[in-house]
Amino acid sequence: MRDFSLDMLRHLLLALRDGGYPLTPFERYWFEKERIDALEKVVLFRHDVDRLPRTALTAARMEYEIGSTGRIFSA
């Protein structure tokens, strides 16, 4: 069963961050591609914004508190 809940997103982001993957905005990749490509730990992912504005806002606030942004490049 797939779990696309906000709790699972929080768990994933915290695990990445605590595992040594700094959470960096995806757009930054294009400006620092060579440096980021040289890193040992790299995770690129994206997620769709929820169709429910309140849920999307809750996710954005949670990600901000963790130190992430909606579209993140982890390097």
Confidence class for position 7, pLDDT limits 50, 70, 90: very high
pLDDT digit string (tens) for 36-70? 778 778 777 666 666 788 888 888 888 888 887 65
Average pLDDT over residues 17-40: 79
E strand intervals along the chain = 23-25, 43-45, 72-74
Extract the tokens encoding 34: 């060579």
Position 71 pLDDT exceeds 70? no
Sign of torsion, CA 5 11 17 21?
A: negative
Name the residue with tokens 């996710």: 59
Angle (deg, nearest 10), helices 6-18 and 53-66 = 20
How far apart (Å, rounded) are the C-alpha atoms in residues 55 and 9? 12
